[in-house]
């Protein structure tokens, strides 16, 4: 399946990755790859799904256009959220010293392949 192949590729090519998940805005994961067992990437996705919805609403009210990416940088990790469609996104968790530039690039490159599956 393209989801598993894509998640595996992202996980293998991203330094400092803790986990990556493809999830619907309803909080249902359709594919995941866990690297660090301490990272509950599904919980990360569920919690940030509501944040994405709020950011999308704010973007609409500001006439800012479509939201493509959200980055949350905390003391324990960096969370990258990339929308695949308005209803699906990919969430990636990195350690603070992870290569988030490369992670952003890999997510951006993966989205066109994933869009075809929806």
Residue range 6-59, pLDDT digits in tens: 999 999 999 999 999 999 999 899 999 999 988 888 888 888 898 899 999 999
Mean pLDDT calculated for residue range 87-112: 94
| CATH class of the region 2-115 | alpha beta
pLDDT of 1 > 80? The answer is: no
The residue written with tokens 């192949």 in the block is: 5
Among candidates 2, 1, 23, 30, which has minimal Cα distance to 114?
Answer: 2
Helix intervals (H) in 14-116: 41-61, 100-115
Domain ranges of the chain: 2-115
- H or E, element range at 19: strand 17-24
Pairwise CA distance, residues 58 & 110, whole Å: 26
Pairwise CA distance, residues 29 & 89, whole Å: 10
Mean pLDDT calculated for residue range 67-95: 93
């Amino acid at each position: 399946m393209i989801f598993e192949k894509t998640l595996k590729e992202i996980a293998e090519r991203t330094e400092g990755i803790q986990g990556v998940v493809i999830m619907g805005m309803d909080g249902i994961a359709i594919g995941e790859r866990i690297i660090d067992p301490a990272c509950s990437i599904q919980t990360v996705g569920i919690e940030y799904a509501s944040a994405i919805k709020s950011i999308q609403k704010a973007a609409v009210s500001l006439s800012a256009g479509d939201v493509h990416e959200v980055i949350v940088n905390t003391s324990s990790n960096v969370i990258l959220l990339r929308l695949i469609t308005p209803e699906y996104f990919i969430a990636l968790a990195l350690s603070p010293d992870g290569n988030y530039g490369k992670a952003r690039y890999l997510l951006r490159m993966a989205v066109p392949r994933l869009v075809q599956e929806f």
